[in-house]
Amino acid sequence: MSNFLGQSVSELVAQTDARYFYGLRRTDDGELYMEKTDQLKAGDSVTINKNGLQEDNFEDFVQGEDFFEGRDVKHEKVYKNLNYEQYRWDNRSIFYYVDDEGQLVVRINEGYEYPSGI
C-alpha cells in the first residue's frame, strides 16, 4: 500500500519542459560558470539569490520560465544578489565540454568523461 496521494515529482516534471535548470553566471574576473540541476535527482538544488539586502534580490523566479536579463545595457548587474544572470529550463540533459582541439562541444542526453591527467 502506498502512502502517496496525487502525482509523483516524476509525473509532474514529465508534463513540462522544465526538468533541468541551467544557470549562467560571470565572476568579477570575467570567468563564466554554468550550473546544471536535475529536479529528479535527490540533493540537487539551486540558490537563486545570494545573502544580502532584500531590495537587491531577484523576486520574479518562476519554475519553468527562462530569464536572460541579468545585466543592463551598460553590462551592470540588475539584481546584485542574483546568482545567475541568465538561466533557462529544458527537458533535455545538455552537457557542454571542451574537446582536445579547444572547441566547445555540446552533447544532448549523453554525458562525457574527461581523460585522466587533465
pLDDT, one tens digit per residue, over 60-113 is 999 889 999 999 999 889 999 999 999 999 999 998 888 889 898 889 988 777
pLDDT, one tens digit per residue, over 17-35 is 788 999 999 888 988 898 9
pTM of the model: 0.75
Cα separations in angstroms, 118 against 72, 101, 115 = 37, 14, 6
| 8 Å CB contact between 16 and 91 | yes
Task: State the pLDDT at residue 97.
Answer: 82
